[in-house]
Protein backbone atom coordinates (compact mmCIF):
# COMPACT_ATOMS: atom_id res chain seq x y z
CA UNK A 1 0.00 0.00 0.00
CA UNK A 2 2.74 2.43 1.01
CA UNK A 3 4.83 1.47 -2.02
CA UNK A 4 1.91 2.13 -4.38
CA UNK A 5 1.22 5.48 -2.70
CA UNK A 6 4.87 6.48 -2.97
CA UNK A 7 4.82 5.50 -6.63
CA UNK A 8 1.83 7.73 -7.30
CA UNK A 9 3.50 10.61 -5.48
CA UNK A 10 6.66 10.20 -7.55
CA UNK A 11 4.56 10.13 -10.72
CA UNK A 12 2.74 13.32 -9.73
CA UNK A 13 6.04 15.04 -8.91
CA UNK A 14 7.46 13.97 -12.27
CA UNK A 15 4.39 15.27 -14.10
CA UNK A 16 4.59 18.58 -12.23
CA UNK A 17 8.28 18.97 -13.05
CA UNK A 18 7.50 18.30 -16.71
CA UNK A 19 4.64 20.80 -16.77
CA UNK A 20 6.30 23.48 -14.64
CA UNK A 21 8.05 25.34 -17.50
CA UNK A 22 4.79 25.45 -19.42
CA UNK A 23 3.02 27.09 -16.49
CA UNK A 24 5.29 30.14 -16.67
CA UNK A 25 2.58 32.47 -18.08
CA UNK A 26 0.43 31.78 -15.02
CA UNK A 27 3.32 32.38 -12.63
CA UNK A 28 5.06 35.40 -14.12
CA UNK A 29 2.77 37.15 -16.63
CA UNK A 30 0.31 39.23 -14.63
CA UNK A 31 -1.95 40.14 -17.55
CA UNK A 32 -2.24 36.55 -18.78
CA UNK A 33 -2.85 35.35 -15.22
CA UNK A 34 -5.67 37.90 -14.93
CA UNK A 35 -7.25 36.89 -18.22
CA UNK A 36 -6.96 33.10 -18.03
CA UNK A 37 -9.49 32.18 -15.26
CA UNK A 38 -12.34 34.25 -16.69
CA UNK A 39 -11.75 33.00 -20.21
CA UNK A 40 -11.55 29.40 -19.00
CA UNK A 41 -14.91 29.75 -17.24
CA UNK A 42 -16.47 31.19 -20.38
CA UNK A 43 -15.15 28.20 -22.35
CA UNK A 44 -16.81 25.84 -19.89
CA UNK A 45 -20.09 27.74 -20.14
CA UNK A 46 -19.92 27.73 -23.93
CA UNK A 47 -19.31 23.97 -23.94
CA UNK A 48 -22.38 23.46 -21.73
CA UNK A 49 -24.76 25.70 -23.68
CA UNK A 50 -25.32 23.54 -26.82
CA UNK A 51 -26.66 20.65 -24.72
CA UNK A 52 -29.14 22.91 -22.96
CA UNK A 53 -30.11 24.58 -26.23
CA UNK A 54 -30.78 21.23 -27.90
CA UNK A 55 -32.99 20.01 -25.06
CA UNK A 56 -34.85 23.33 -24.85
CA UNK A 57 -35.70 23.30 -28.56
CA UNK A 58 -36.31 19.56 -29.00
CA UNK A 59 -38.81 19.48 -26.14
CA UNK A 60 -40.90 22.18 -27.77
CA UNK A 61 -43.09 22.07 -30.88
CA UNK A 62 -41.24 21.46 -34.13
CA UNK A 63 -38.49 19.34 -32.60
CA UNK A 64 -35.53 18.59 -34.84
CA UNK A 65 -36.67 20.91 -37.64
CA UNK A 66 -36.64 23.89 -35.32
CA UNK A 67 -33.28 22.87 -33.88
CA UNK A 68 -31.87 23.00 -37.41
CA UNK A 69 -33.17 26.55 -37.80
CA UNK A 70 -31.66 27.58 -34.48
CA UNK A 71 -28.26 26.13 -35.38
CA UNK A 72 -28.41 27.91 -38.73
CA UNK A 73 -29.28 31.18 -37.01
CA UNK A 74 -26.16 30.79 -34.88
CA UNK A 75 -23.83 29.80 -37.72
CA UNK A 76 -24.83 32.48 -40.24
CA UNK A 77 -23.46 35.43 -38.22
CA UNK A 78 -20.17 33.55 -37.83
CA UNK A 79 -19.82 33.57 -41.62
CA UNK A 80 -21.24 37.04 -42.24
CA UNK A 81 -19.64 39.04 -39.42
CA UNK A 82 -16.27 37.34 -38.93
CA UNK A 83 -14.33 39.67 -41.24
CA UNK A 84 -16.01 42.72 -39.73
CA UNK A 85 -14.97 41.46 -36.29
CA UNK A 86 -11.37 41.24 -37.42
CA UNK A 87 -11.41 44.79 -38.79
CA UNK A 88 -13.04 46.12 -35.61
CA UNK A 89 -10.43 44.46 -33.39
CA UNK A 90 -7.54 45.89 -35.40
CA UNK A 91 -9.10 49.37 -35.56
CA UNK A 92 -10.46 49.69 -32.03
CA UNK A 93 -8.26 47.34 -30.00
CA UNK A 94 -8.87 43.69 -29.23
CA UNK A 95 -9.65 44.20 -25.54
CA UNK A 96 -12.44 46.69 -26.24
CA UNK A 97 -14.01 44.46 -28.86
CA UNK A 98 -13.83 41.38 -26.63
CA UNK A 99 -15.38 43.30 -23.73
CA UNK A 100 -18.28 44.37 -25.94
CA UNK A 101 -18.73 40.87 -27.38
CA UNK A 102 -18.80 39.11 -24.02
CA UNK A 103 -21.08 41.74 -22.50
CA UNK A 104 -23.55 41.15 -25.32
CA UNK A 105 -23.26 37.36 -24.97
CA UNK A 106 -23.76 37.60 -21.21
CA UNK A 107 -26.95 39.60 -21.70
CA UNK A 108 -28.27 37.40 -24.52
CA UNK A 109 -27.69 34.14 -22.64
CA UNK A 110 -29.12 35.66 -19.48
CA UNK A 111 -32.24 36.71 -21.38
CA UNK A 112 -32.50 33.25 -22.94
CA UNK A 113 -32.22 31.64 -19.50
CA UNK A 114 -34.91 33.93 -18.08
CA UNK A 115 -37.30 33.08 -20.92
CA UNK A 116 -36.82 29.36 -20.33
CA UNK A 117 -37.07 29.60 -16.55
CA UNK A 118 -40.33 31.55 -16.79
CA UNK A 119 -41.76 29.24 -19.45
CA UNK A 120 -42.17 32.01 -22.05
CA UNK A 121 -39.66 31.35 -24.84
CA UNK A 122 -41.25 32.10 -28.25
CA UNK A 123 -39.40 30.62 -31.19
CA UNK A 124 -38.63 34.00 -32.75
CA UNK A 125 -36.87 35.02 -29.53
CA UNK A 126 -34.82 31.81 -29.50
CA UNK A 127 -33.76 32.44 -33.12
CA UNK A 128 -32.84 36.05 -32.36
CA UNK A 129 -30.81 35.20 -29.27
CA UNK A 130 -29.01 32.38 -31.09
CA UNK A 131 -28.04 34.84 -33.83
CA UNK A 132 -26.83 37.37 -31.26
CA UNK A 133 -24.68 34.70 -29.63
CA UNK A 134 -23.18 33.73 -32.99
CA UNK A 135 -22.44 37.37 -33.77
CA UNK A 136 -20.68 37.76 -30.43
CA UNK A 137 -18.50 34.75 -31.17
CA UNK A 138 -17.69 36.08 -34.65
CA UNK A 139 -16.44 39.34 -33.14
CA UNK A 140 -14.65 37.75 -30.17
CA UNK A 141 -12.63 35.06 -31.98
CA UNK A 142 -10.35 37.18 -34.19
CA UNK A 143 -9.85 39.67 -31.37
CA UNK A 144 -8.64 36.86 -29.10
CA UNK A 145 -5.93 35.92 -31.61
CA UNK A 146 -4.65 39.51 -31.48
CA UNK A 147 -4.90 39.85 -27.69
CA UNK A 148 -2.65 36.99 -26.59
CA UNK A 149 0.62 38.46 -27.97
CA UNK A 150 -0.16 41.63 -25.98
CA UNK A 151 -0.56 39.89 -22.63
CA UNK A 152 2.18 37.29 -22.94
CA UNK A 153 5.85 37.91 -23.91
CA UNK A 154 7.00 36.61 -27.32
CA UNK A 155 9.20 33.94 -25.75
CA UNK A 156 6.21 32.46 -23.91
CA UNK A 157 3.58 32.53 -26.65
CA UNK A 158 3.74 28.77 -27.15
CA UNK A 159 3.16 28.18 -23.43
CA UNK A 160 0.29 30.69 -23.33
CA UNK A 161 -1.45 29.14 -26.33
CA UNK A 162 -0.90 25.65 -24.93
CA UNK A 163 -2.62 26.65 -21.69
CA UNK A 164 -5.54 28.09 -23.66
CA UNK A 165 -5.80 24.88 -25.70
CA UNK A 166 -5.70 22.85 -22.49
CA UNK A 167 -8.54 24.94 -21.05
CA UNK A 168 -10.52 24.57 -24.28
CA UNK A 169 -9.96 20.81 -24.42
CA UNK A 170 -10.91 20.34 -20.77
CA UNK A 171 -14.08 22.37 -21.28
CA UNK A 172 -14.96 20.30 -24.35
CA UNK A 173 -14.75 17.12 -22.28
CA UNK A 174 -16.32 18.35 -19.04
CA UNK A 175 -18.88 20.83 -20.36
CA UNK A 176 -21.32 18.50 -22.15
CA UNK A 177 -21.23 15.95 -19.33
CA UNK A 178 -21.92 18.61 -16.70
CA UNK A 179 -24.61 20.19 -18.88
CA UNK A 180 -26.35 16.85 -19.34
CA UNK A 181 -26.48 16.32 -15.59
CA UNK A 182 -27.70 19.85 -14.84
CA UNK A 183 -30.24 19.83 -17.66
CA UNK A 184 -31.73 16.60 -16.34
CA UNK A 185 -31.90 17.85 -12.74
CA UNK A 186 -32.41 21.62 -12.97
CA UNK A 187 -33.49 22.25 -16.56
CA UNK A 188 -31.88 23.96 -19.57
CA UNK A 189 -32.66 27.43 -18.23
CA UNK A 190 -30.32 26.89 -15.30
CA UNK A 191 -27.51 25.78 -17.62
CA UNK A 192 -27.91 28.88 -19.79
CA UNK A 193 -27.92 31.05 -16.66
CA UNK A 194 -24.57 29.53 -15.72
CA UNK A 195 -23.32 30.23 -19.24
CA UNK A 196 -24.34 33.87 -18.82
CA UNK A 197 -22.45 33.97 -15.51
CA UNK A 198 -19.37 32.53 -17.22
CA UNK A 199 -19.42 35.38 -19.74
CA UNK A 200 -19.73 37.81 -16.84
CA UNK A 201 -16.56 36.29 -15.37
CA UNK A 202 -14.80 36.86 -18.69
CA UNK A 203 -15.98 40.48 -18.77
CA UNK A 204 -14.56 41.05 -15.29
CA UNK A 205 -11.22 39.51 -16.30
CA UNK A 206 -10.99 41.61 -19.46
CA UNK A 207 -11.92 44.78 -17.57
CA UNK A 208 -9.06 44.16 -15.11
CA UNK A 209 -6.39 44.05 -17.81
CA UNK A 210 -4.14 47.07 -17.38
CA UNK A 211 -1.67 46.61 -20.23
CA UNK A 212 -1.96 49.30 -22.89
CA UNK A 213 -3.04 47.47 -26.00
CA UNK A 214 -2.02 49.22 -29.22
CA UNK A 215 -4.74 50.07 -31.68
CA UNK A 216 -3.91 49.55 -35.33
CA UNK A 217 -3.66 52.57 -37.60
CA UNK A 218 -7.06 52.58 -39.28
CA UNK A 219 -7.23 52.83 -43.03
CA UNK A 220 -9.34 55.43 -44.80
CA UNK A 221 -12.32 53.05 -44.82
CA UNK A 222 -13.60 49.69 -43.68
CA UNK A 223 -13.02 48.24 -47.15
CA UNK A 224 -9.47 49.58 -47.20
CA UNK A 225 -8.78 47.76 -43.94
CA UNK A 226 -10.27 44.58 -45.38
CA UNK A 227 -8.03 44.87 -48.44
CA UNK A 228 -4.96 45.48 -46.28
CA UNK A 229 -5.76 42.39 -44.22
CA UNK A 230 -6.22 40.35 -47.38
CA UNK A 231 -2.84 41.55 -48.65
CA UNK A 232 -1.18 40.35 -45.45
CA UNK A 233 -2.99 37.03 -45.71
CA UNK A 234 -2.28 36.19 -49.36
CA UNK A 235 1.36 37.35 -49.20
CA UNK A 236 2.27 34.33 -47.05
CA UNK A 237 2.14 31.07 -48.96
CA UNK A 238 2.27 28.96 -45.78
CA UNK A 239 -0.83 30.74 -44.51
CA UNK A 240 -3.14 30.51 -47.51
CA UNK A 241 -1.94 26.99 -48.36
CA UNK A 242 -2.80 25.65 -44.92
CA UNK A 243 -6.07 27.60 -44.93
CA UNK A 244 -7.09 25.94 -48.22
CA UNK A 245 -6.02 22.61 -46.74
CA UNK A 246 -8.34 23.05 -43.76
CA UNK A 247 -11.17 24.35 -45.92
CA UNK A 248 -11.21 21.11 -47.90
CA UNK A 249 -10.55 19.03 -44.78
CA UNK A 250 -13.69 20.40 -43.14
CA UNK A 251 -15.68 19.82 -46.33
CA UNK A 252 -14.45 16.34 -47.29
CA UNK A 253 -13.43 14.74 -44.00
CA UNK A 254 -14.64 16.47 -40.84
CA UNK A 255 -18.20 17.29 -41.94
CA UNK A 256 -18.92 13.74 -43.21
CA UNK A 257 -17.46 12.33 -40.01
CA UNK A 258 -19.80 14.45 -37.89
CA UNK A 259 -22.85 13.49 -39.96
CA UNK A 260 -22.14 9.83 -40.73
CA UNK A 261 -20.07 8.90 -37.69
CA UNK A 262 -22.93 8.71 -35.15
CA UNK A 263 -25.14 6.50 -37.32
CA UNK A 264 -22.23 4.27 -38.36
CA UNK A 265 -21.17 3.86 -34.74
CA UNK A 266 -24.73 3.14 -33.63
CA UNK A 267 -25.24 0.49 -36.33
CA UNK A 268 -21.88 -1.28 -36.11
CA UNK A 269 -20.44 -0.61 -32.67
CA UNK A 270 -23.22 -1.44 -30.25
CA UNK A 271 -25.49 1.57 -30.05
CA UNK A 272 -25.47 5.33 -29.63
CA UNK A 273 -23.31 5.15 -26.50
CA UNK A 274 -20.35 4.12 -28.64
CA UNK A 275 -20.35 7.56 -30.29
CA UNK A 276 -20.10 9.16 -26.87
CA UNK A 277 -17.04 7.02 -26.11
CA UNK A 278 -15.45 8.05 -29.40
CA UNK A 279 -16.00 11.74 -28.67
CA UNK A 280 -14.71 11.31 -25.12
CA UNK A 281 -11.56 9.68 -26.50
CA UNK A 282 -11.08 12.61 -28.85
CA UNK A 283 -11.35 15.07 -25.98
CA UNK A 284 -8.98 13.02 -23.83
CA UNK A 285 -6.41 13.03 -26.64
CA UNK A 286 -6.62 16.80 -26.87
CA UNK A 287 -6.11 17.19 -23.12
CA UNK A 288 -3.16 14.78 -23.07
CA UNK A 289 -1.48 16.46 -26.03
CA UNK A 290 -1.91 19.87 -24.42
CA UNK A 291 -0.24 18.58 -21.26
CA UNK A 292 2.56 17.11 -23.36
CA UNK A 293 3.12 20.44 -25.13
CA UNK A 294 3.60 22.38 -21.90
CA UNK A 295 7.13 23.75 -21.84
CA UNK A 296 7.95 22.72 -25.42
CA UNK A 297 8.78 25.10 -28.27
CA UNK A 298 9.11 23.29 -31.60
CA UNK A 299 11.50 24.92 -34.05
CA UNK A 300 9.10 24.53 -37.00
CA UNK A 301 5.55 24.99 -35.65
CA UNK A 302 3.79 25.26 -39.04
CA UNK A 303 5.41 22.06 -40.30
CA UNK A 304 4.58 20.14 -37.13
CA UNK A 305 1.03 21.54 -37.04
CA UNK A 306 0.47 20.36 -40.61
CA UNK A 307 1.78 16.88 -39.84
CA UNK A 308 -0.46 16.71 -36.77
CA UNK A 309 -3.54 17.44 -38.89
CA UNK A 310 -3.10 14.07 -40.63
CA UNK A 311 -4.25 12.37 -37.42
CA UNK A 312 -7.82 13.25 -38.34
CA UNK A 313 -7.70 10.67 -41.12
CA UNK A 314 -7.72 7.90 -38.52
CA UNK A 315 -11.27 8.04 -37.03
CA UNK A 316 -13.20 8.14 -40.34
CA UNK A 317 -10.75 5.63 -41.79
CA UNK A 318 -11.30 3.26 -38.86
CA UNK A 319 -15.08 3.52 -39.21
CA UNK A 320 -14.84 2.96 -42.96
CA UNK A 321 -12.78 -0.20 -42.45
CA UNK A 322 -15.20 -1.59 -39.87
CA UNK A 323 -12.68 -1.47 -37.01
CA UNK A 324 -13.90 -2.52 -33.54
CA UNK A 325 -14.77 0.15 -30.99
CA UNK A 326 -11.44 0.11 -29.07
CA UNK A 327 -9.55 0.79 -32.29
CA UNK A 328 -11.90 3.60 -33.31
CA UNK A 329 -11.50 5.15 -29.84
CA UNK A 330 -7.72 4.88 -30.17
CA UNK A 331 -7.94 6.60 -33.55
CA UNK A 332 -10.06 9.38 -32.02
CA UNK A 333 -7.52 9.76 -29.21
CA UNK A 334 -4.74 10.33 -31.77
CA UNK A 335 -6.95 12.71 -33.76
CA UNK A 336 -7.75 14.74 -30.66
CA UNK A 337 -4.06 14.98 -29.84
CA UNK A 338 -3.31 16.12 -33.37
CA UNK A 339 -6.04 18.74 -33.17
CA UNK A 340 -4.55 20.22 -30.00
CA UNK A 341 -1.04 20.27 -31.45
CA UNK A 342 -2.25 21.82 -34.69
CA UNK A 343 -4.35 24.52 -33.06
CA UNK A 344 -1.70 25.52 -30.53
CA UNK A 345 1.27 25.66 -32.88
CA UNK A 346 -0.52 27.24 -35.83
CA UNK A 347 -1.96 30.00 -33.65
CA UNK A 348 1.48 30.65 -32.18
CA UNK A 349 3.02 30.85 -35.66
CA UNK A 350 0.40 33.38 -36.78
CA UNK A 351 1.04 35.55 -33.73
CA UNK A 352 4.80 35.53 -34.30
CA UNK A 353 4.93 35.91 -38.08
CA UNK A 354 2.12 38.39 -38.79
CA UNK A 355 2.35 42.13 -37.99
CA UNK A 356 0.54 43.04 -34.78
CA UNK A 357 -1.67 45.65 -36.44
CA UNK A 358 -3.19 43.07 -38.82
CA UNK A 359 -3.42 39.95 -36.66
CA UNK A 360 -7.17 40.05 -36.03
CA UNK A 361 -7.99 40.55 -39.72
CA UNK A 362 -5.64 37.78 -40.81
CA UNK A 363 -7.12 35.45 -38.16
CA UNK A 364 -10.61 36.29 -39.45
CA UNK A 365 -9.64 35.50 -43.04
CA UNK A 366 -8.09 32.23 -41.91
CA UNK A 367 -11.13 31.17 -39.89
CA UNK A 368 -13.56 32.14 -42.64
CA UNK A 369 -11.56 30.28 -45.27
CA UNK A 370 -11.19 27.18 -43.11
CA UNK A 371 -14.89 26.85 -42.27
CA UNK A 372 -16.76 28.40 -45.19
CA UNK A 373 -17.43 25.02 -46.86
CA UNK A 374 -18.25 23.25 -43.60
CA UNK A 375 -22.03 23.84 -43.77
CA UNK A 376 -22.10 22.57 -47.36
CA UNK A 377 -20.23 19.45 -46.29
CA UNK A 378 -22.72 18.87 -43.48
CA UNK A 379 -25.64 19.22 -45.89
CA UNK A 380 -24.12 17.05 -48.62
CA UNK A 381 -22.77 14.17 -46.53
CA UNK A 382 -26.10 12.40 -46.05
CA UNK A 383 -27.30 12.50 -49.68
CA UNK A 384 -23.87 11.49 -51.03
CA UNK A 385 -23.68 8.61 -48.54
CA UNK A 386 -27.12 7.45 -49.67
CA UNK A 387 -25.72 7.08 -53.19
CA UNK A 388 -22.29 5.60 -52.47
CA UNK A 389 -22.45 4.32 -48.88
CA UNK A 390 -21.17 5.78 -45.62
CA UNK A 391 -18.02 3.67 -45.63
CA UNK A 392 -17.04 4.95 -49.07
CA UNK A 393 -17.56 8.60 -48.13
CA UNK A 394 -15.68 8.26 -44.84
CA UNK A 395 -12.86 6.26 -46.41
CA UNK A 396 -12.34 8.65 -49.32
CA UNK A 397 -12.30 11.61 -46.93
CA UNK A 398 -9.61 9.94 -44.83
CA UNK A 399 -7.54 9.06 -47.91
CA UNK A 400 -7.86 12.58 -49.25
CA UNK A 401 -6.60 14.06 -45.99
CA UNK A 402 -3.47 11.89 -46.01
CA UNK A 403 -2.68 12.79 -49.62
CA UNK A 404 -3.46 16.49 -49.13
CA UNK A 405 -1.29 16.73 -46.02
CA UNK A 406 1.61 15.21 -47.95
CA UNK A 407 1.06 17.74 -50.74
CA UNK A 408 0.98 20.69 -48.34
CA UNK A 409 4.27 19.56 -46.81
CA UNK A 410 5.93 19.99 -50.21
CA UNK A 411 5.42 23.77 -49.98
CA UNK A 412 8.81 25.25 -48.94
CA UNK A 413 7.37 27.91 -46.62
CA UNK A 414 5.33 25.27 -44.76
CA UNK A 415 8.42 23.13 -44.17
CA UNK A 416 10.56 26.15 -43.27
CA UNK A 417 8.27 27.77 -40.67
Q: 3-class SS at 215? A: coil
Residue 126 CB-half CA count within 13 A: 25
Q: Is the pTM of this model over 0.85?
A: yes
CB crowding 137-168: b at 16 or more within 10 Å, else e: bbbbbbbbbbbbbbbbeeebbbbbbbbbbbbb
CATH code assigned at 251: 1.20.1250.20
pLDDT at position 158 over 80:
yes
Domain assignment present for residue 395? The answer is: yes
Residues 194 and 255 both lie in one domain = no
Residues 174 and 114 both lie in one domain = yes
DSSP character for 153?
A: -
Residues 134 and 36 both lie in one domain = yes
Residues 378 and 320 both lie in one domain = yes
Contact (Cβ atoms closer than 8 angstroms) between residue 168 and residue 43: yes
Residues 197 and 257 both lie in one domain = no
Total domains, the chain: 2
Rg of the chain over CA atoms, in angstroms? 21
Of 7-11, 57-61, 120-124, 137-141, the one with minimum mean pLDDT is: 7-11
- What local confidence, expressed as pLDDT, does residue 20 receive? 58
Residues 196 and 229 both lie in one domain = no
pLDDT-based confidence at 234, cuts 50/70/90?
very high
Residues 200 and 254 both lie in one domain = no
pLDDT at position 199 over 90:
yes
- What is the Cα–Cα distance from 242 to 357, expressed in whole angstroms? 22
pLDDT-based confidence at 314, cuts 50/70/90?
very high
Domain assignment present for residue 399? The answer is: yes
Q: Which of 149, 177, 208 is the last residue of a domain?
A: 208
- What is the Cα–Cα distance from 312 to 334, expressed in whole angstroms? 8
Residues 295 and 262 both lie in one domain = yes
- What is the Cα–Cα distance from 350 to 155, expressed in whole angstroms? 14
Residues 244 and 110 both lie in one domain = no
Q: Region 148-169: what's the mean pLDDT?
A: 90
Terminal CA-CA length for the chain: 50
Of 42-51, 108-117, 151-160, 271-280, the one with minimum mean pLDDT is: 271-280
Q: Which of 177, 208, 239 is the last residue of a domain?
A: 208
User: Angle 276-280-286 (CA atoms, 0-180°, nearest 5)?
Assistant: 150
- What local confidence, expressed as pLDDT, does residue 349 receive? 93
- What local confidence, expressed as pLDDT, does residue 64 receive? 58
Residues 179 and 292 both lie in one domain = no
pLDDT-based confidence at 161, cuts 50/70/90?
very high
Residues 371 and 312 both lie in one domain = yes
- Give the domain extent around 92: 20-157+169-208
Residues 280 and 194 both lie in one domain = no
Domain assignment present for residue 163? The answer is: no
Amino acid sequence: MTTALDGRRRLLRALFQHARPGLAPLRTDREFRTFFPGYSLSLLGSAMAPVALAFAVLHGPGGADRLGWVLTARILPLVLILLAGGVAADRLGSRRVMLAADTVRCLSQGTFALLLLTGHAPFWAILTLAAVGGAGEAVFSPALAALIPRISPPDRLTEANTLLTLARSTATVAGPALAGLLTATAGPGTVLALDAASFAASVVALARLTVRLPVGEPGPSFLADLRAGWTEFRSRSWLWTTCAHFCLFNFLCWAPFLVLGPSTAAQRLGGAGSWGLIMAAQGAGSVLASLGLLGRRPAHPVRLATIASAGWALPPGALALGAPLPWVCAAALVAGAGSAVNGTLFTTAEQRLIPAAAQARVAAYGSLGAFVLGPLGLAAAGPVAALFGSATVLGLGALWLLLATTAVLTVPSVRRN
